[in-house]
Amino acid sequence: MPSPHSPMQNHLLASLPPAELERLSAHLELVPIKLGDMLYEPGGQLHHAYFPTTSIVSLHYVTESGGSAEAAGVGNEGVVGVSLFMGGDTTPSSAVVQTAGHAYRLERSVLLEEFSRAGLMQRLLLRYTQALITQIMQTAACNRFHSVEQQLSRWLLLTIDRIPATELIMTQELIASMLGVRREGITEAAGKLQNAGFIRYRRGHIAVLDRAGLETRSCECYAVVKKELTRLMTNVR
């Protein structure tokens, strides 16, 4: 039987020409990653890049007082570890698994060698980094100016875009931590979305029932992030 896992499940890797992907495939290691796994810590040396397929990784910043918020999420559209090829090697943020699943891991030296070839892989990685910067900027603006209900709707839409399911295993406490808001705010916002028939919530599980309806409750941030990712990652040659 064919393997259920393939590098082609990651959109960035799937954009490579067959010859480049074949050269890289010998070095790609499929790894399972669990909810809460820390792929890298603030200030730590990065040794691998991760290309998620069925998992989602949260790029998180934690303050000295213990408060935290998600700056961006990375799923099957991209790569975790842009500091490796941007020359920084370390980052003040952490990368924590938000949704368990699988990813392909690539050693730092192999990634840098491929990047230095100045071929399509380099252009894809740079384009993706620009899209990631857009997501970070939009998240910052969203957290400052938009309601918790709008933030939650944006976050849910971006999350279900990255996984082959419409039900998430996610507690309100974890979502509150991701968005940097109080759990009571998430409870109230989720209640409004559930009463509208857009989601169904039970302890630890959220199912999206009406995607179009959820989009009407989201702010413009979701569309901005999606549009920019599509623009940058389409027809890269």
Q: Rounded to an integer, what distance in angstroms lies between the CA atom of residue 186 and that of residue 18?
A: 44
Place domain 7-143 in its CATH homologous superfamily. Answer: Jelly Rolls (2.60.120.10)
Buried b (16+ CB within 10 A) or exposed e, 153-163: bbbbbbbbbbb
For 39-78, the pLDDT digits (tens) are 998 888 889 999 999 999 999 887 888 777 899 999 999 9
CATH 1.10.10.10 residue ranges of the chain are: 147-218
Q: Which two tokens stand for residue 210?
A: 């009406």
CATH 2.60.120.10 residue ranges of the chain are: 7-143
Determine the topology of domain 147-218 in CATH.
Arc Repressor Mutant, subunit A (1.10.10)
Rounded to two decimals, the pTM is 0.93
For 84-118, the pLDDT digits (tens) are 998 877 788 899 999 999 999 999 999 999 999 98
